[in-house]
Structure 1
Amino acid sequence: MDFRLNDEQRMMIETARQIGESFGLEYWRKLDAAKSFPTAYWKAVCDAGLCGVALPEAHGGSGLGMMEMSLIVEALAATGGGSTVGQLFMINPIFGGVSISRFGNEKMKKELLPRIISGDLNCCMALTEPDAGTNTLEIKSFAAQDGDGWRLNGRKIWITGVESAEKMLVIARTKKLQDSTSRTDGLSMFMIDVKREGLTHTPIDKLGTCTLDSSSVFFDNVRIGPDELIGTLHKGWRELLDVLNTERMVTTAGLVGTGELAIKLAVDYANDRKVFGDRPISSYQGLQFPLAQCHVDVESARLLNYKAATNFDMGLLYSNEANAAKLIAAQAVARATERAMQTMGGMGYAKEFHVERLWRDCRLFRFAPVSEEMLLNYVANHELKMPKGY
């Protein structure tokens, strides 16, 4: 693998850094307090062409890959946005862009992709259910055939970005389990309007990631048209995995940028802070060693994510690397933000020093979009070939 960045990649990183720095940490602190979607920020990202980096040129994208998207997300996260940046890319160019560009019909591609890329259209994905959690194959939301379309009934939970979204990628059963040839048979994907008769949602009050709402979503006899099917009827499971595994990559990139930012804030603070004489507290190994270990761990996650992204872009198998990178990143950044707060002492607990927001936000990703326990199950079953215990 060649780790040298080309001129185009370096230019994208620099553009992302300039955008991130133009908004800065205070922008995010205020939006976090107000629980407001970062509308101006996302529009700036899209206006610079960064949202569509991995989406087709024919519809306004750059036609590049997940490697470039990962580099952009890292840079944006490291300049203030933190792990929330990964979620912004997750709900729009991944849930919306990847699903439509890879599996959508030509009408969807023509009408929706340019609007996603420009930032005029936000998306979300309704997958998780209260009684299924990460066991996606046990979801109960059901889309029954109704003429040339379907009628959807069911409930979803912890759906990100519903309030700001116009379109929702919905995963539902279209065939009862007892009528299916396997547990993966009978799942389908649809791209529907958020504002539609029978679709309601209520917010969930939560600890962090406050600039993106989380909601419970209810479907009461929601009509789905025939042109809203994404991919193959009843065979959406394998297609969904491409969406979920690319989701892992942008999540990891956002975490890597968060770790980089938290460590920088801690080091800058420690270099300025003098308590015991004229030497800065950063000279003490009791502070140096933990931060150095955090840096090494974050870099390890970064490199493994690069391998996942490169494999994806080359058409090679990538899910093992994508899942492992997300596992390492979530754990490493949890430690990095915790250590940054500890380094700063009482000021690490103060909102004006920003690390507490990074700490609150990144905690989500130890169990979302998939928990570390399920990721370890995946590694044990698929890489170590150990028997499945659940």
Structure 2
Amino acid sequence: FIEALTDGGYLAALIPEEYGGAGLPVRGGAVILETINRMGCAAAAGHAQMYTMGTILRHGSEEQKAHFLPKIASGELRLQAFGVTEPTTGSDTTQIKTRAERKGNGYIVNGQKVWTSRAAHSDLMLLLARTTPADQVEKRTDGISTFLIDLREAQKNGCAINPIDAMINHNTTEVFFDNVPIPGDSLIGEEGKGFRYILDGMNAERCLTASESIGSGKYFIEKSVNYSSERIVFNRPIGQNQGIQFPIAKAYAQLEAAELMVRKATTMFDAGLTCGGEANMARLLAAEAAWECGEVCMTTYGGFAFAREYDIERKWREARLSRTAPISSNLILSYIGQHILGMPRSY
């Protein structure tokens, strides 16, 4: 699946043409991911490359861009792993424990990442690690750096990648770093500024993953409409019953509204406008709408929804994941309350 997407140039869609990509805006990438999910597939199996490479593009050196981006675009190298989340910190990224300590011309990395999707199938990882202890910085967001590391070399020198058996249908892992040496030129941008670099790319991530949810929602609606029109019970199609028809119609309306917010967010992002609020609201509304569409589809199909051959329960599980990762709906609500409405911080 990933090879087909790579060969078709889809995973290089957002990489500039000068580096071998298509040079599309985020809106273009959003359409690609939405379409993949609408067709019943799961773009999460390879979507990370679209938003992780943006960190290299915006904050990497000219040498890093020239070396890595053409190889990522061609598929020679895969950048599918994003090492941020840790077992003891969850969504509070400023409290990460993974350390990268200076040694000679490079760094020594120690720590653990969890829920690092696709690490077992990635050549490179975008890694977030503390280079200055939290108790030695003025702001919690300072002292965190971003690195682009070669997982192939790291696994020869103290890095272990263990798969997590989960209900989702793409590979996810926990990654351990035990005195792993990495070269100094693995650093992206300035030391200690990595948290800001990651935040800069989060809006793109929100827009792209929201588009996936829109695609999943459309998949559910199409399935529900078709099945309810063909399924005959008591000599009439079940879609003729208000108990079936109205929930489908309501879920569709919610999905359409969410899609408008996604379009607004991607348009603002591509125009270079501040869009943190819009990107987060797009992510929230799309994830919740997709879940509602999935619930409606499960109800419409009844017992057959649980049969794997119909591909409903699989997509339903994917829709549930989108309410939790890569950011939970509750954390977005907290963001809206604090940063948009000006309310006191809720945590």
Shorter-chain-normalised TM-score: which range?
A: over 0.9
Q: What letter is aligned with 1:65? A: P
Per-residue Cα deviation, 1:49-101 (whole angstroms, up to 9, x for no partner):
222222211101122211111111111110121xx304522x21212x21211
**What is the TM-score with the length of structure 2 in the denominator?**
0.96
Q: CA deviation at 1:176?
A: 0.8
Match for 2:27 among 67, 79, 94? 67
User: Over the residues paired in the alignment, what is the CA RMSD in angstroms?
Assistant: 1.3
Residue of structure 1 equivalent to 2:70: 114
Q: CA deviation at 1:145?
A: 0.7
Q: What letter is aligned with 1:236? A: G
The answer to whether 1:229 aligns with 2:187 is: yes
The answer to whether 1:364 aligns with 2:324 is: no
Number of equivalences: 343
Match for 1:130 among 87, 100, 118? 87
Q: Distance in 1 between matches of 2:58 and 2:45?
A: 20
Residue of structure 1 equivalent to 2:58: 102
Q: Distance in 1 between matches of 2:231 and 2:241?
A: 12
Alignment of 1:305-324 (within 5 A): 305-324=262-281
Per-residue Cα deviation, 1:293-324 (whole angstroms, up to 9, x for no partner):
11111112211111111111111011111111
8 Å CA contact 1:142, 1:154 repeated in 2 = yes
Per-residue Cα deviation, 1:174-222 (whole angstroms, up to 9, x for no partner):
00112112111101000111121111021111112x2x21111110011
Per-residue Cα deviation, 1:84-121 (whole angstroms, up to 9, x for no partner):
304522x21212x2121111222321222122222332
Alignment of 1:1-390 (within 5 A): 41-81=1-41, 84-89=42-47, 91-95=48-52, 97-123=53-79, 124-195=81-152, 196=154, 197-208=157-168, 210=169, 212-277=170-235, 279-390=236-347
8 Å CA contact 2:13, 2:24 repeated in 1 = yes
Q: What letter is aligned with 2:64? A: M
SS at match of 2:86: coil
8 Å CA contact 1:42, 1:119 repeated in 2 = no
**What is the TM-score with the length of structure 1 in the denominator?**
0.85
Q: CA deviation at 1:129?
A: 0.5
SS at match of 1:163: helix
Q: Distance in 2 between matches of 1:294 and 1:328?
A: 12
Moved over 4 A (4+): none
SS at match of 2:100: strand
Q: What letter is aligned with 2:78? A: N
Q: Distance in 1 between matches of 2:2 and 2:85?
A: 25
Q: Distance in 1 between matches of 2:103 and 2:117?
A: 29
8 Å CA contact 1:55, 1:61 repeated in 2 = yes
Q: What letter is aligned with 2:298? A: M
Q: Distance in 1 between matches of 2:313 and 2:30?
A: 24
For structure 2, the residue ranges without an aligned partner over 5 or more in a row are none
Residue of structure 2 equivalent to 1:33: none
For structure 1, the residue ranges without an aligned partner over 5 or more in a row are 1-40
